[in-house]
Amino acid sequence: MPSYKLSWTGERTPLEKAGDALTELLWPPAGAVSLSKEDATVEDGASAWRLDAYFEDAPDTEAVSKLVSEYGLRNGETEELPDVDWVAHSLEGLGVVRCGRFVLYGVHDEDKLPNEDGDISIRIDANQAFGTGHHPTTAGCLTLLDRFGGWAPKSILDLGCGSAVLAIAAAKLWERTLIASDIDETSVSIARENAALNGVGDKIMSLTAAGFDHPEIKSSAPFDFVFANILAGPLAELAPDMAAHVAKNGRVMIAGLMSEQEDVVRSAYEREGFRQINRLEQPTWPVLLFVKT
C-alpha cells in the first residue's frame, strides 16, 4: 500500500512549529516529520529549510492546509511514495537522546550508548506509535521525571501512553507495576512489545481505553501518579475525571499542550483541586506537574 509525503520549504522556526502541530494537533496525525537544511546558499540560511511530513494513508489535505496556514505555510507538495515503511525510515538515525538519567536509543544506536553510572537506558525503535523521546513533550516529561528523588508512588497510570516510553521509564525508576493505556490499539500493541523489549513486560499492563473508561483502570484507582502526554483539548476535558481517579497528594504530569494553551489547561486543573508544583520550561511545549490537594 502506498504512503504519502507532504513537503514545504521556508524558514526554520515556522516549519518546526508546523511539524510539531502535524504530529500533535492533526487527526489522524502525521506518522513522522523531518526537518532538514535544503539550501546552504540562501543568505544566513534563514529560508534554507525543508519540512517533510509522512502519512500512511492519504491525508486530509484541506485539514492539513488549514493547520499549517497558521504558521504561514502555503502550497505544500504532495508525493505518493512506494510501499516502504517511511515512518520507520524517517526516524532511523535520530541518535541517542539523554534526559537526565534516562537514555533513549534505537537498535541502530546501541553501540553509541554512554553507559554512565546511574543511567536508565530505554530502547525504543522506530514504529507507528508516538514517543521515541525526540519530541519535546516526551523528552520534557523524562527530564522532569529525572528530578524525582526518593519518593516512589505505589499506583501509576500512563494515560495516552503511545510507545510507552514514560511507563517504561517509571517502571525502571520506581520498580513498580503500573498501567499504560491508549485509545489506539496499534499503540497499545507496540507499548506491550516495547515493555517486553526493555525487560519490564511483567510490570506494565497495557490496555486500550478512552480516558479512564476501563474496568482495570477504575479498580486500580485512586492513582498516586499519572502521566498524561496527549493534547490540550483532551487534557482540559479530562480534568474532572482526573480529580476523581487521583489520590489526595497524588501527582499528575501534564504534557502535549503548547505554551499558548497553558493557561486554559492549568485553570481546568485548578478548578478541580489541583495545584501546580513544578514546570519544565520549553519555548513551545511546556510540561506541568500538579498535586491534588
Residue 99 is placed in which grid cell?
534526559
Q: Output the nine-digit C-alpha cell for 289.
A: 506537574
Q: Which of 152, 151, 181, 154 is nearest to 166 (CA)?
A: 181
Q: Which residues pair with 103 in a beta bridge?
A: 98, 121
Annotated binding-site residue? 19: no
> For 38-141, where are the E strands, in sequence order?
49-55, 77-81, 97-99, 102-105, 120-123
160 marked as binding residue: yes
Instruction: For residue range 232-260, list pLDDT tens digits in order.
Output: 889 999 999 999 999 999 999 999 888 88
Give whole-number Cα distances, 30 to 33, 45, 96, 148, in Å. 7, 26, 22, 33
pLDDT for 1-17, tens place per residue?
457 889 998 887 888 88
Residues 6 or more apart from 165 whose CB is under 8 A from it? 104, 122, 124, 131, 132, 133, 138, 142, 194
C-alpha grid cell for residue 187?
499503540
Tell me which residue has cell 519518593: 151
Structure confidence at residue 111 (pLDDT)? 65
Q: Which CATH class is domain 3-90?
A: alpha beta
Question: Which residues in the chain come in under a pLDDT of 70?
Answer: 1-2, 36-48, 82-95, 108-112, 126-135
Q: What angle do CA 261, 239, 260 make, to 5 degrees?
A: 5
Q: Is residue 143 a known part of a binding site?
A: no
Q: Would the pTM count as exceeding 0.85?
A: no
The pLDDT value recorded for residue 82 is: 63
With residue 18 as reference, give the H or E element that holds it.
Answer: helix 12-24
Q: Supply the pLDDT for residue 40.
A: 45
75 is in an annotated binding site: no
Q: Which of 104, 128, 124 is nearest to 114 (CA)?
A: 104
Between CA 191 and CA 158 the distance in angstroms is: 11
Burial of 77 (0-12, 13-18, 19+ CB in 10 A): exposed
Question: What digits encode the pLDDT tens for the residues 35-62?
Answer: 766 654 444 445 568 888 888 788 888 8
| Residue-range domain boundaries for the chain | 3-90, 130-292
Helix axes 185-197, 165-174, angle to 10 degrees: 40
Same fold, 3-90 and 130-292: no
Residue 128, pLDDT score: 43
Q: CA torsion, points 34, 139, 259, 235, in degrees to nearest 10?
A: 100
- How much is the pLDDT for 37? 65
What residues contact residue 39 under an 8 Å CB cut-off, 6+ apart?
Answer: 47, 48
Please give the pLDDT value at position 126.
57
- pLDDT reported for residue 93: 47
Is 33 in contact with 87 (CB distance < 8 Å)? no
Residue 86's pLDDT is 44
CATH of domain 130-292: 3.40.50.150
